[in-house]
Amino acid sequence: MLAHLRGAIERGEYAIGDKLPSEAVLSKEFQVSRSVVREALRALQTLGLTVSRTGKGSFVVATEPAEMPTFGHYSARDLMEVRRHVEVPAAGYAALRHRPDDLDALTGLLERMERETDDTLWVALDSLFHITVAQASGNPVFGKVIEEIRDALARQSAFLNQLGDRRPASNREHRALVDAIAAHDKDAAVRAMNTHLEHVERALTDIVGASPDRPDRG
């Protein structure tokens, strides 16, 4: 459904200023739940193609994605800069300073994420996983920073899952990180978090740069 709507907007089937069909109409047309429709509409907003007007619906504002997606109050660039400067060193400190209950919490979250089939629940667990890694660093400031951007991280995660099918790869990358932390291997933990963030950034670039109809654009 999302790919169809994005393609229709980029082909000009919905012109700038046009209102998209309502949630109820889209739900019936594509035979999906209203929650799936809402996530698709949110993704279109994140891409900068539409805006939501309270009580009125979603309206087309552009026919090409914005150069940089926005998640809540923060752009993808904002998030990636902060995550590289906070989560990478935090992962290294977590390998050196984590307590047994930190590792138990991370392992439990990892196992739940690997079993989870509901996208919404997985996204919530993903945000909690990253907060827990930061808290395991032993420095409460790292944890506070990641908690501050928790909503934006969840929006980004949902966006990547919907348009980039990132869940399986994220689970593998999280597993490598937990293994490194469990082994008290600071360098491996830093590499694992760096790799994870590099893949997130690459997925964002691929999603924004390639439309359903022009996969080689940009």
pLDDT digits (tens, 9 = 90+) for 52-64: 998 899 999 999 8
Measured distance CA(8)–CA(10) in Å, rounded: 6
The answer to whether 98 and 200 are in contact (CB under 8 A) is no
**CATH 1.20.120.530 intervals, the chain:** 70-209
The answer to whether 40 and 15 are in contact (CB under 8 A) is no
Tens digit of each residue's pLDDT, the chain (218 residues): 888 899 999 999 999 999 999 999 999 999 988 888 988 898 898 888 999 998 899 999 999 888 788 898 899 999 999 999 999 999 999 999 999 999 999 999 999 999 998 888 999 999 999 999 999 999 999 999 999 999 999 999 988 887 778 999 999 999 999 999 999 999 999 999 999 999 999 998 888 875 444 443 33
Please say whether the dihedral angle defined by the alpha carbons of residues 142, 143, 145 and 150, taken in this order, is positive or negative: positive
Q: Two tokens at 104?
A: 């138990």
Instruction: Specify the CATH architecture of the domain 2-60.
Output: Orthogonal Bundle (1.10)
Q: Two tokens at 144?
A: 């506070």
Measured distance CA(135)–CA(53) in Å, rounded: 38
Instruction: Specify the CATH architecture of the domain 70-209.
Output: Up-down Bundle (1.20)
**CATH 1.10.10.10 intervals, the chain:** 2-60
Instruction: Identify the CA nearest to 204 among candidates 51, 16, 69.
Output: 69
What is the bridge-based pairing of β-strands 50-53 and 74-75? unpaired
